[in-house]
Structure 1
Amino acid sequence: MNVPDVRTMRAADLPHAERTSDITFLDSDRRDRRVGEPDPQPRSETATKRWIDRMRHFLDVDPEGCLVAVDGPEIVGFAISQNRDRLWYLATYGVLPDRQGHGIGKRLMDAVLAHADGRPGMFSSSVHPGATRRYRSAGFSLHPQMRMVGTVDRSTLPAVNGLREGSIADFDWMDRLDQQLRGAGHGPDHPYLAAHNRLVVSHANGYVYIDDQGRTALLAAADQPTAQKLLWEALASSHGDTLVNCITTANEWAIDVGLAARLDIGQEGYLAVRDLQPPAPYLASGHFL
């Protein structure tokens, strides 16, 4: 078996990297599927386009953090990381199932950690045993995450006031809030997130991005009451089954809201952090952290 080269991703790699990502995460989802859950399916055409668009954003902003492992014409692994001020985060990472266990993942992780250049870091981790061993050996603390799923009981929705639609004019104070919670602002990620999600803010005390299915994409607040109001607004926007993800034990306020809305609680991987504590009140984005 050839030893793949690890190099910086190029724009032309994006469709090939997406296919590798889809195969990798579909295998992981099927392996970790809970009893009673539907069989995971390959990404839809829409989801494929969104993945490529998101990775192109990362490639435009911080290309040196976007790496692929290539064996001839085939992309067998990828690691997309980003530096934002004094914070590093890993947006996505994986190796084809039939190429795992041969050191490719370690080489990719070593390379993106070198790009971090000692910054505190965070990312959302799966429960894959090999990956979690690698993360822990790299000095990351693994904080179990929970998720809440189900259909909101609309009779439980409270009246929520003090919120408004957000805009580009809010990004400065949002970045200052991010700095307090996670050590760095989202910076160029805010315009991207706002272009693809609804932004709702509470004065200068908190914000939430809500996707087109009414799910919380990213939430940050100065205090728990504000965070709960923002989460209730997201739940009120949902239709059909919804998901509240990336809930650490530092954010049990979100569990209280989800239980009140009659959602079901389950476990969902880890928040991996190095040289910082899990942000709170905060619900991370899986890709933008």
Structure 2
Amino acid sequence: MPDVRIRPMTDADVSTAEEISDDAFFALDTAHRLPSAPAPRRRSPEHRAAWCARTRGFLASDPDGCWVAEKGDEVVGFATSFRRERVWCLATFAVRPGLQGAGIGAQVLDPARAYGADLPRGMLAASVDPRALRRYHRAGFRLHPQLTLHGAVERSTLPRVGDVREGGADDLAWMDDLDRARRGGPHGPDHERLLAAGRLVVTTDRSGYAYTNGATLALLAAEDDDAARRLLWECLAGAGERYEIPHVTSENYWAVEVALAARMDLRAQGYLGLRGMTPPTPYVHHGALL
């Protein structure tokens, strides 16, 4: 597509990128919605603000990983990515609905991929969009199907959980070491965004941590399945009317066992794309911060 120009993303592009992302994923979720899945929803104003703040964080820490595609004077696609020591992560990638399938996505994704080409590992969270899946496969990513565990938590099933406590800034150093062991790089500056969005729960022996906001598990990493189960049960104990555990690969079946014991439902949803690594475990990744 010769009239498309690829250039670095700027702060002025962030709100447009958020709009494109919301439109693209709402359309995709609507088209591929399963009968058992909840109706797709647009982002709330709070979610939109958090998305923009997170993207501006990527611009500050990894400007060379963030790109937009312009057609005329209009931004029509974008890709944001970041590096964390030995791992490159694709945070978000979208093309405006109606312009997909014309090669714009491949063009804007290429410089973001090049930003992490020298790193041995790569991670991305993929939707069910078949065009994007083919693109990731061609780029060398192995696609691992994911489950989303969801529903009301049966309170009578909750066990008494010990050896967990509220976490804080003093825990971030050992948490980053755990991330290095699980995925090849720390979350570093991303912890600030995760702390602002929810509650941090850690094990007293520093064997694992989880971020939760009472409605969704945002991220969980542990040294072993026992620590991971304790953390997930603690998150379920603090759940509201309904709870969701997204991004669960088959290698993390401990999470499926906990969810089924709590009388929750499960559905297949999306893929974890990996290059140079196997699915981390025990580990439930964040959709954008991986």
Same fold (TM over 0.5): yes
1:164-192 per-residue CA deviation (whole Å, 9 max, x = no partner) reads 11111111111111111111111111122
Shift of residue 196, structure 1, vs aligned partner: 2.0
Does residue 209 (structure 1) correspond to residue 207 (structure 2)? The answer is no
Specify the alignment match of 2:10 in structure 1.
Answer: 10
Distance 2:198 2:16 in 1: 26
Q: 1:176 to 1:38 in 2, by over 3 A?
A: closer
Distance 2:201 2:69 in 1: 39
Q: 1:37 to 1:183 in 2, by over 3 A?
A: closer
Shift of residue 2, structure 1, vs aligned partner: 6.3
Mapped contact 1:80–1:92 kept (Cα < 8 A):
yes
Shift of residue 222, structure 1, vs aligned partner: 0.2
Structure 2: stretches of 5+ with no match in the other structure: none
Mapped contact 1:2–1:71 kept (Cα < 8 A):
no
- Count of equivalent residues: 288
Specify the alignment match of 1:44 in structure 2.
Answer: 44
Distance 1:6 1:176 in 2: 36
1:37-61 per-residue CA deviation (whole Å, 9 max, x = no partner) reads 4432322222211111111111111
Between 248-257 and 2-11, the greater mean CA deviation after superposition: 2-11
Distance 1:42 1:138 in 2: 30
Between 228-237 and 52-61, the greater mean CA deviation after superposition: 52-61
Identity of aligned residues (%): 45
Structure 1: stretches of 5+ with no match in the other structure: none
Indicate the SS of the match to 1:158. Answer: coil
Indicate the SS of the match to 1:229. Answer: helix
Mapped contact 1:214–1:234 kept (Cα < 8 A):
no
Distance 1:248 1:158 in 2: 24
Mapped contact 2:158–2:233 kept (Cα < 8 A):
yes
Does residue 29 (structure 1) correspond to residue 29 (structure 2)? The answer is yes
Which aligned pairs between 1:113-192 and structure 2 lie closer than 5 A? 113-119=113-119, 120-192=121-193
Between 146-155 and 11-20, the greater mean CA deviation after superposition: 11-20
Shift of residue 36, structure 1, vs aligned partner: 4.5
Mapped contact 2:215–2:242 kept (Cα < 8 A):
no
Indicate the SS of the match to 1:98. Answer: coil
1:98-126 per-residue CA deviation (whole Å, 9 max, x = no partner) reads 11111111112211110103321011101
Q: Which amino acid aligns with 1:206?
A: G
1:177-219 per-residue CA deviation (whole Å, 9 max, x = no partner) reads 11111111111111221122211111210000112x3421000
Distance 1:72 1:168 in 2: 45
Distance 1:28 1:252 in 2: 27
Q: 1:117 to 1:36 in 2, by over 3 A?
A: closer
Q: Which amino acid aligns with 1:40?
A: P
Where do 4+ consecutive residues of structure 1 move more than 6 Å?
none
Distance 1:33 1:64 in 2: 35
Mapped contact 2:67–2:112 kept (Cα < 8 A):
yes
Distance 1:112 1:208 in 2: 29
Shift of residue 145, structure 1, vs aligned partner: 0.4
Q: Which amino acid aligns with 1:116?
A: G
Distance 2:49 2:224 in 1: 36
